Chain A
C-alpha cells in the first residue's frame, strides 16, 4: 500500500499557538483537521509537508453556537460533517447545509472530516489526483510542479474543479468566514464573505494566505414562515453512487417568497462546474421580484446552466455533463419550489 511519508506532528492547544507554528515553519507546514483529503494527497505527494499542525486539541474550533438574539449561527471549522448533517438546529434552520454535509463521501469519513476541511477542499482533476509516479510519467501539470494543463494545453490557468458539497451552500447562504493569522504574539482575524473566499483558478483557489487558518463560519438567520412564505433552501447533488463520490454537479438554492408566493430574493450557486462555486447572477435576476411562472423558471434554468462549461477532467463524459446541467438544475428548482 502507499505509505504516508514521514512528518512531524504538532498539537497546539490554541489558535494562537497554531498560527504561530505555521508562521515558524512556513511552507514546510500544513494544518490538518480531519485529514480525510490531506492524507491521501500526502501519500500521492500532491502535498509534501514536513510538519503537520493538528487542530484537534483547539476547543474554539469545535463550537456550534446559535446567538441568543436569533441573529445567526457561529460554526467552528472543526465541527465534524456528521454533526453538521445531524444537528437538529442546523437541520431546522439551514436544511441545505445539513443536506450538503450529509452527502459528503461516507459515514466514516464524515465522522473524521470537518466542515472547515470541506470548505477548504483541494480542487480536483483527473490529471492531478493521481500518484506521483503516474503524474511523473505523463509530465507534471500546472497545479503541481509542472507547466502544462493536460485538460486544455492552451489554458494559462489550472482547470481543476471545486468539489466541495458545502461550499456552494455557504455562498448561497452568504456566510462569512473568519480567518486567523499571527500578529506577533497575538492573533489577528479577518472576515471574508464566502463568495470572495473562492477564486476561479484551480491552482490558487482560495482567498487565504498560507499562514491563515479558517477558524469559524458565521451564518445569518433565514426565517422560514408558515405555508410557504419566507426562505426555502436546498442542495442537490449529482453523483454516480450514493456514497464516496465527489459531486459531478451541485446546486445550492435559496429562495425567499413573498406572501403572494412571488419570489423576493433568489440565490443560485453551482458547485463542481468550475474551480470555485459559481453564483448564477443572471438566473437570480430573472427570478427576483416576480411570480414563479414555469416560463421564468425555465429561463432561469437556462441562464444558470450556461455557467456550466464542463471539461474532460472529472467523472462522466463531457456531453453527459453538459446535458445534465439544465436538466439537473430544473429538478433542483422543482425540488425546492415543489412546482
Chain B
C-alpha cells in the first residue's frame, strides 16, 4: 500500500489551540456595531388560548427599543407539517411556545422587559403522554386535524408469523427511552441584520445553512435569495441545529423592527425548554431464534411523543427501522411506529438519531435470546453478523463491513475474565452492544451532496472552500489532511473556508456522519482537478508528460528527477499572457436513493458503519449505583484519516452514551422541565468516566475517501445497550429504562429479591 504523508496521521485538530486558549470567535463572542439584544417571552401554560397581550409596560421600560408579537410578521407557518409559527397569536400549545420578544440595549434589560409583558390566558385542557393524547375526546393540539395522531410508519420484510413459527426461542421486552438534551457547551445564538435593500444576513450556529435559507424564507415570507447565512465558530450542536426553530425567524423579525442588528442568545434554561430533545420512545420488541443460533424474526412496535410541533424527532423511526430490519441478518421483520402530538417538549435530531434507542432494544433482545439459547452473546452475534458485499432485505447495499472483525476483537478481549469485586455487595458483569449507522450520509433530502473548491495561490497556500460545516467534529482538520495528501503539501498549508452561504457551494448540512465521507469526496475531487492543472503547467516546465509527473513534499517531480516547486508552477500558470489560476471544483452526490415513501425500502447511504462496545460494570447491590470500570470500543471506521480525531469522536461519544445509560434525563412534569440546569440535569462528568480502549477496524470502504467512513455518531449509540447487558450479567436483572439510575437498579433488585 502507498505510504501516505498526511492521511492516517495523528494530527491535533487545527482549530484546537484557538479554542482552548479562548481566541476562537464563537457565536456568543460575536458583536456588530450598533447591535442590540433580544429576549423571548414564552408561554406560562402548557395549553391555553391567548386572550390579550399587553406590551405597554415592557415598551415603557428604559432601554427597550421595541417589542415584537405575531402582529409584526405575516401569518406564516413552517416545519415539515407546517404546524409551527414564529410567534404564537391565538393559542399556545406547550411551555416552550414563543409569544413575544423584546429588543433592548442589553440582554438584561431585554429579559427584564419580557417579564413586564402581561398576557391573559384561558387555560385549555392539556395532554402529557401518548395514551392521553390518543384517548377519545382528548383535546386537539393542532387545529385542522381529526386527532393528535400524526403518522404511522410501517415496514415489513418476510413474514413475521412464519418467522415466529420457525423459532425455537422467543423473547419479548418493553423498553422506555428518555428525553435527553444535547447539552452543547455553547447555547443557541443568532445575530440578524437587515441592510437597506431588505437583504437579511444571519450569523447562526446552524448545522444546515442552505436548508435554513429556504426554511427561513418560508417562515418570514421572503425569498431565500435575499438571505445570507454566516457561521461563526460553533460550540457544539450534536443535531440540535439541524432544523429551523422559531428563534431563527424571531431574531430576524426583531432586527427588522428595530432596524439594527439584533443578537438573540439562549440561556441554559431556554436551551432545555425551547430547544429540541432526543426523541423519547416506548417500544416493545419480540424476537426469535432457532436452536442453531440463527435469528428468525423481529416484531417491533413503538409510540413516540413528538411534542406540540413536529421536528426531526418524528423521523427517528426511519433510523430505528433500519437497525431493526438490517442490523444482524433477520429474515422476517415487522416494524410499526406511531407518532403522536402532545403538549410536551419538541423532539429533534441528536447524535445517533434513533440509534441509541434502537440499539438498546435490539441488543437487549439479542442478549435475552443468547441466554435462552445458552450461547455466548458474542458468538451468537458473530453467527448473525452482517457480511461485506451483501444487500439487506431493506435494500441497504452493505459494501465494506467490519462487524465480524469488531466482534472478534471483543471476543479476544473477553478471554481475560473480570477480576472479582473487593466486597461481597459489589457485583461485576460484562456486556456488549452494537450499532449499525449510516457511514456516509443519508439521503433524506433530494440531494445528499456537497460542493468544494480547491484553489492554490501564488505562494503555494491552498484554500479548500467547502459546503460543509464545522461543529467541533474535526472536519476542518480531516478535510485539510485529504487535500494536503492529494496535493502533497503540508497540512498547515491548507486552510478550510466553510462559513458563508454566499461563498461556499451547497451542502445539505452536517448530520448522518456524512462530512468526512461526502465533503471528503468532494474535496478530493476538487483537489485532483487542481492537481491536474498543476501537472499540465508543470509538464511544460519540466518537459515531461502530465501523466508521468508526481507531487511530493510541495514539489512536482518528473521521471528524470527534475523538479519544480508547486508555487512556482502556480505563478508560471498565472503570470503570463492569457494566464490561468489553479482551482478545482467539484460537487459530490453519492450513488444512493430516497427510500420508497410507502415501503421504506431503499439504499440511503453509500456506506454503512458498524460498531460494538463492551462494558465492564460494578453494581453496588446496597445502593444500586453502577460504576463502569472499562469500555472497549471496536468500530469499523473504513479508514482513520486522523486516528486522534477518531479517538476523540469515540471517547466523546462514549461520554454522551454513558450519560444516556446512567445519569441523564430531562425530567418533565405536566409539560414543564423540572431540571433545566447543569446541577439537576446530570451530565456524565470526567470523574465518572471509565477507562476506554479504542479498537479501530479499517475495512477500507470502496466509495469512501481514502477508504474512510463516518464515525461521528456511532460512539454514543451502543453504550446504553452494552451497559444494560453488563448489569444483567452482574446481578441478573434486566433494566429496560435508561438512565439506569441507582433508584431504578435498586428497585429492580428488590423486585427480583421479592421473587
Residue positions of A touching B, CB distance < 8 A: 1-3, 5-6, 106, 126, 129-134, 136-138, 238, 240-246, 315-317, 319-320, 323-324, 327-328, 330-331
When the two chains form their complex, are residues A316 and B742 in contact, meaning their CB atoms are under 8 A apart?
A: yes
Note all chain B residues with C-beta closer than 8 A to A242. Answer: 685, 687-688
A230–B148 CA distance with the chains assembled, in angstroms: 69
Beyond the given A319-B743, A327-B622, could you list 11 further A-B residue pairs with CB under 8 A, ordered by the A residue number?
A: A2-B268, A131-B269, A132-B115, A241-B684, A241-B687, A316-B743, A320-B742, A323-B746, A323-B750, A324-B623, A328-B622
Q: Is B187 an interface residue (CB 8 A)?
A: yes
With beta carbons under 8 angstroms apart, the residue of A1, A3, A324, A327 that contacts B268 is: A1
When the two chains form their complex, are residues A241 and B688 in contact, meaning their CB atoms are under 8 A apart?
A: yes
A249–B470 CA distance with the chains assembled, in angstroms: 43
Note all chain B residues with C-beta closer than 8 A to A245. Answer: 679, 682
Note all chain B residues with C-beta closer than 8 A to A244. Answer: 678-679, 682, 685
Interface flags for B150-180 (1: CB within 8 Å of A; 0: not) read 0000000000000000000000000000000
Least CB distance, B233 to chain A, in whole angstroms:
17
Least CB distance, B302 to chain A, in whole angstroms:
26
A317–B663 CA distance with the chains assembled, in angstroms: 14
Note all chain B residues with C-beta closer than 8 A to A316. Answer: 741-743
A199–B682 CA distance with the chains assembled, in angstroms: 30
Q: Which 8 A-B pairs have the closest CB atoms?
A: A320-B743, A242-B687, A243-B687, A243-B685, A137-B44, A2-B267, A327-B622, A317-B743
When the two chains form their complex, are residues B685 and A246 in contact, meaning their CB atoms are under 8 A apart?
A: no
26 contacts between A and B (CB under 8 A): A1-B266, A106-B685, A106-B687, A129-B679, A131-B269, A137-B44, A137-B95, A137-B672, A138-B672, A240-B682, A241-B663, A241-B682, A242-B688, A244-B678, A244-B679, A244-B682, A245-B682, A315-B682, A316-B741, A317-B743, A319-B743, A319-B747, A320-B624, A328-B622, A328-B623, A331-B622
A317–B746 CA distance with the chains assembled, in angstroms: 11
Note all chain A residues with C-beta closer than 8 A to B268. Answer: 1-2
Note all chain A residues with C-beta closer than 8 A to B623. Answer: 238, 324, 327-328, 331
Q: Is B253 an interface residue (CB 8 A)?
A: no
Name the interface residues of B21-41: CB closer than 8 Å to any CB of A.
28
Least CB distance, B378 to chain A, in whole angstroms:
30
A294–B414 CA distance with the chains assembled, in angstroms: 40
Least CB distance, A337 to chain B, in whole angstroms:
15
A317–B187 CA distance with the chains assembled, in angstroms: 30
Instruction: Knowing A5-B108, A137-B44, A324-B623 are in contact, say whether A315-B680 is a contact too (CB < 8 A).
Output: yes
Least CB distance, B625 to chain A, in whole angstroms:
8
A126–B677 CA distance with the chains assembled, in angstroms: 11
With beta carbons under 8 angstroms apart, the residue of B28, B42, B741 that contacts A240 is: B741
Note all chain B residues with C-beta closer than 8 A to A328. Answer: 622-623
Least CB distance, B112 to chain A, in whole angstroms:
9
When the two chains form their complex, are residues B267 and A1 in contact, meaning their CB atoms are under 8 A apart?
A: yes
Note all chain B residues with C-beta closer than 8 A to A132. Answer: 115
Note all chain B residues with C-beta closer than 8 A to A323. Answer: 746, 750
Note all chain B residues with C-beta closer than 8 A to A246. Answer: 679
Note all chain A residues with C-beta closer than 8 A to B688. Answer: 241-243
Interface flags for B412-455 (1: CB within 8 Å of A; 0: not) read 00000000000000000000000000000000000000000000
Q: Is B686 an interface residue (CB 8 A)?
A: yes
Least CB distance, A339 to chain B, in whole angstroms:
12
Least CB distance, A183 to chain B, in whole angstroms:
38
Note all chain A residues with C-beta closer than 8 A to B624. Answer: 320
Note all chain A residues with C-beta closer than 8 A to B750. Answer: 323
A331–B746 CA distance with the chains assembled, in angstroms: 16
Residue in B closest to A328 when the chains form the complex, CB atoms: B623
Least CB distance, B187 to chain A, in whole angstroms:
6
Least CB distance, A117 to chain B, in whole angstroms:
16
Residue in B closest to A327 when the chains form the complex, CB atoms: B622
When the two chains form their complex, are residues A241 and B685 in contact, meaning their CB atoms are under 8 A apart?
A: yes
Least CB distance, B125 to chain A, in whole angstroms:
18
With beta carbons under 8 angstroms apart, the residue of B115, B678, B679, B746 that contacts A133 is: B115
Note all chain A residues with C-beta closer than 8 A to B747. Answer: 319-320
Q: Is B698 an interface residue (CB 8 A)?
A: no
Name the interface residues of B78-124: CB closer than 8 Å to any CB of A.
95, 107-108, 111, 115
A331–B747 CA distance with the chains assembled, in angstroms: 19
Of B267, B678, B747, most buried by chain A (CB within 10 Å of CB) is B267
A241–B682 CA distance with the chains assembled, in angstroms: 8
A126–B680 CA distance with the chains assembled, in angstroms: 9
Note all chain A residues with C-beta closer than 8 A to B267. Answer: 1-2, 131
When the two chains form their complex, are residues A134 and B269 in contact, meaning their CB atoms are under 8 A apart?
A: yes
Note all chain B residues with C-beta closer than 8 A to A320. Answer: 624, 742-743, 746-747
When the two chains form their complex, are residues A3 and B674 in contact, meaning their CB atoms are under 8 A apart?
A: no
Least CB distance, B355 to chain A, in whole angstroms:
25
Note all chain A residues with C-beta closer than 8 A to B743. Answer: 316-317, 319-320
When the two chains form their complex, are residues A1 and B663 in contact, meaning their CB atoms are under 8 A apart?
A: no
Note all chain A residues with C-beta closer than 8 A to B95. Answer: 137
A3–B267 CA distance with the chains assembled, in angstroms: 9
Least CB distance, A7 to chain B, in whole angstroms:
12
Name the interface residues of B377-394: CB closer than 8 Å to any CB of A.
none
A182–B353 CA distance with the chains assembled, in angstroms: 61
Name the interface residues of B640-693: CB closer than 8 Å to any CB of A.
663, 672, 674, 676-680, 682, 684-688
With beta carbons under 8 angstroms apart, the residue of B115, B622, B674 that contacts A126 is: B674
A241–B683 CA distance with the chains assembled, in angstroms: 9
